[in-house]
Amino acid sequence: MKKMNNKIFLLIIIAFVLGCQKPGPVELIDDKDDSKLIDIKSTGSVSDTLYAVSVGDTSGNFGPQNSRYYAKLIYQSIRFERLSRKDSLINAEAIFFDKDNSIKHNDRIVAFPSFDVGALKINEDVLNKIPRRMMLPMRGDTLIGYRYQLRKNYELTTANKWTATGSGSIDAFDISISSPPTIRVLNLPPRFINVSEPLNIKWDCANPIINIFISGEAGDLLTRRLVPVMHLQIRNKKGEVTIPVKILELIPIKKFSRFVFSFVSESSGTVRISGYPEDVLVHSSSVHSIFLSVRP
């Protein structure tokens, strides 16, 4: 039931993009070209990320540069904006894949089992330990490990501490990470933009790098999901950027009509945990996600 509630919650968040208000244009400025401040990155595949074991990545902010890690501790403070409402939440997720015991079908890896690390907490909050199950030939419905997840009301923190009691071969651990500078977009209301004109975006954030993840809305009302389509990395020299038309025209507006623009300030590092043989990614981010319609 808890898993179903999580699915419903995420679908509701995504469905907020469907509004009955008449949209108005956002402010566009065409007297600058900030191409020198913008790097276009690969979006990778959703199946390469932690969110392959979740319902979906509503923030659209976990890039393929992190896909090489088999263990991840992810903390996100997320703000959502759509036509009629604003929401905010904390999302924390973790998983420890067992790389050496991959599950194969027809000589192809289809999944990795994952370790139980005992009771896992972020600060004073205990994450839900969620069973991962899949249908295996000759074995049927099989438990292949656990993932951890927590969603709660938004709160501002300057540092976060992960602690776990440990289980089996995985020892107890205590890991701290500083939170990145928070980000707030200042001039992009959730309405629509035109790819035929440069788009100016201003934000309040001290991080020297700002990531913009753009995801298209796919599926119908019951199967709605977000598909990563573009990742822009911005050198934050002046607290704003003007995205030129030549970049905006790369957004696949013939395939999707609505998009989520996620602006991300992040910090990350790796640690080693006794009993686990791989590097563990510890990632923290501040996210401001805005639902937009994109027009020619």
Per-residue pLDDT, 54: 34
DSSP bridge pairs for 194:
295
Dist CA 177 CA 267 (whole Å): 9
For 3, residues 6+ apart whose C-beta sits below 8 A from its C-beta are 130
Phi, psi for 100 (deg, rounded to 5): -85, -5
| pLDDT tens by residue, 161-170 | 999 999 999 9
Angle made by CA atoms 98, 66, 119, in degrees to the nearest 5: 50
| pLDDT tens by residue, 216-230 | 988 776 777 888 899
| pLDDT tens by residue, 260-274 | 999 999 999 999 999
pLDDT band at residue 66 using 50, 70 and 90 as cut-offs: low
Q: Which residue has the higher pLDDT, 62 or 193?
A: 193
Which H or E run contains 13? helix 2-15
User: From the CB of residue 189, how many other CB atoms can be counted at a distance below 10 Å?
Assistant: 15
Nearest to 261 by CA among 59, 78, 66: 59
pTM of the entire structure? 0.81
User: From the CB of residue 41, how many other CB atoms can be counted at a distance below 10 Å?
Assistant: 15
Dist CA 116 CA 124 (whole Å): 20
